[in-house]
Amino acid sequence: MTSLPPPKLPRHIAVVMDGNGRWAAERGQPRPFGHRRGVVAARRIVEACSQRRIEILTLFAFSQENWSRPVREVTLLMKLFESVLTREIKAMHQNGIRLRFIGDHSDFPPVLCGMMNDAAALTRNNTGLTLQIAIGYGGHWDIAQAAQSLCAAGKPINTESLQAALMTAELPPPDLLIRTGGERRLSNFLMWQLAYTELHFTDTLWPDYDQAQLDEALAWYASRERRFGRVPETK
């Protein structure tokens, strides 16, 4: 009996975790209730990716545009990030997860910035799943800061140098983007890095997203032929 080949898995998955507020509203609850349940879903998908030997998972946790939300909601999100790091960092470290944080953190509470720096330092040498959190992140900002850093250093700006100056430079670009919540747009997330990424959209709101739906996305990805601008392979 011939065994089937293993499925083709993405090396790097990026996720736009959309739908927390709508999920809460459907249940007659305030938006913070949805954000807290979104944390549960994030933990579930981190564990699932680790179990499936995905190398890198990037989660879009807080965009630069999110600063325009009501002050009370933004303040709660900052406190929620602090709470999650306090509760989860020990377990993540024990499970070999390496944490990275990308984005502009200049307006973040100093306590949260210190916690992110400490978490990244603690897990730097771990060899399991790399969990990259995009927080205070915007794709346009990332490209602009890369260009500014090259100009400041007197270096030429070209495709290779710009890519090397992005916040994600040490990691390969995502193979698969998953966006929950029904929207079909990138929302200024990893604009450079997603040039040839396979895009998978689902109507499921983020708090309801689970391992089975992740496996559906992985099966869809395995069916794709990634050509990167080349013509299809002849049979």
Name the residues annotated as catalytic: 18, 66
- The phi, psi pair for 201, rounded to 5°, reads -110, 140
Give the C-alpha separation, 138 to 64, whole Å.
6
Which residue type, as a one-letter code, is found at position 36? Answer: R
Burial letters for 107-124: b for 16+ Cβ neighbours within 10 Å, e otherwise? ebeeebeebbeebeeebe
In degrees to the nearest 10, what's the CA dihedral of 79, 178, 42, 212? 160
Listed in sequence order, the residues at least 6 apart from 103 whose beta carbon sits closer than 8 Å to its beta carbon are 62, 64, 134, 135, 136, 137, 138, 167
Nearest to residue 89, comparing CAs of 119, 112, 68?
119
